[in-house]
Amino acid sequence: MSIKKVMVIGAGQMGSGIAQVCAMAGYEVVLQDLKDEFLERGMNNISKNLQRQVDKGRMNDDEKARVLSNMKTSTDIQSANSVDLVIEAAVENMEIKSNIFAQLDEIAPAHAILATNTSSLPITEIAAVTNRPEKVIGMHFMNPVPVMKLVEIIRGLATTDEVYQAIEEMTKKLNKVPVEVNDFPGFVSNRILMPMINEAIYTVYEGVAEPEAIDEVMKLGMNHPMGPLTLADFIGLDTCLSIMEVLHEGFGDDKYRPCPLLRKYVKAGWLGRKTGRGFYKYD
């Protein structure tokens, strides 16, 4: 299974980061999204990230130009008709992802692997809308993608060893560390991280301590580089809520019940860094 051409669906923070690391590893990349303005924003972010590398002396101008030359953009999902791998990085919503995968199954070549960057949704369920469930797999990158080394690789019920090995090998070429995980709600990373964030929100909700104090305890007492509430704001409180809902529904266990304060903030549009307000205010 030779992977040379990759399509990344979604030019947001995750999708543009995935497209960047693929292009840096020498893959031919098509970055796809619904509107030109989304693609322009994504490409601007990639260009800024690469310029930062040049400024720090980790890359020269020629290398930056080579990476950008490996990339094309498209607003047409039909561009998947000539790729070896699709990595979907759309919004964390089962209906949207299922719709994308049903289309990709019709468009992508028969040999193409269809991967999803979902952070919590079941791979087996996404694969079930296709006629190639054996070629569907999870590739859960961490944010920010160019910096973070981990990729959780999640097999669906039907994913073949050959497909798993091809994705594991590619992950190493991206200079990432692949970790094999089974298909359970939240996988490993978010099954452990999100309940911790949710519990931190409960401690605010119950008046145990202020957000700054909670983050300070976790940084200085548990040696975390970033406090859980700062991290929640960075991830996006809407994303945190949707993952907690997947865990709660998937396991049917009250320990995964999203904190009412988290729901309130999301309803208020206080989603964290991206909206300028969450547990903290941002300029």
> What's the one-letter identity of residue 124?
T
What's the pLDDT score for residue 38? Answer: 97
Pairing of strands 28-32, 71-74: parallel
**Residue numbers belonging to the annotated binding site for NAD(+):** 10-15, 33, 92, 97, 119, 143, 274
Q: Kindly give the confidence (pLDDT) of every residue in the chain, 283 residues in length, as a single tens digit, with 9 standing for 90 and above.
A: 799 999 999 999 999 999 999 999 999 999 999 999 999 999 999 999 999 999 999 999 999 999 999 999 999 999 999 999 999 999 989 999 999 999 999 999 999 999 999 999 999 999 999 999 999 999 999 999 999 999 999 999 999 999 999 999 999 999 999 999 999 999 999 999 999 999 999 999 999 999 999 999 999 999 999 999 999 999 999 999 999 999 999 999 999 999 999 999 999 999 999 999 999 999 8
What's the pLDDT score for residue 185? Answer: 93
Q: Which of 49, 152, 198, 242 is catalytic?
A: 152
What's the pLDDT score for residue 201? Answer: 98
What's the pLDDT score for residue 142? Answer: 95
Distance CA(119)–CA(239), nearest Å, equals 9
Distance CA(272)–CA(147), nearest Å, equals 21
- 242 carries an active-site annotation: no
Q: Which of 16, 79, 120, 140 is catalytic?
A: 140
Place of tokens 């970033």: 226
Which residues lie across from 180 on neighbouring strands?
153
What's the pLDDT score for residue 283? Answer: 85
Place of tokens 């299974």: 1
**Residue numbers belonging to the annotated binding site:** 10-15, 33, 92, 97, 119, 143, 274
Question: Cα–Cα–Cα angle for 259, 256, 185, nearest 5°?
Answer: 130
Distance CA(213)–CA(125), nearest Å, equals 40
Distance CA(252)–CA(245), nearest Å, equals 10
Distance CA(237)–CA(252), nearest Å, equals 21
Peptide bond into 258 cis (omega under 30): no
- 119 carries an active-site annotation: yes
What's the pLDDT score for residue 1? Answer: 76
- 152 carries an active-site annotation: yes
Q: Which of 49, 119, 198, 242 is catalytic?
A: 119
In order of their start, the domains of the chain are 5-182 (3.40.50.720), 189-274 (1.10.1040.10)
Distance CA(283)–CA(277), nearest Å, equals 9
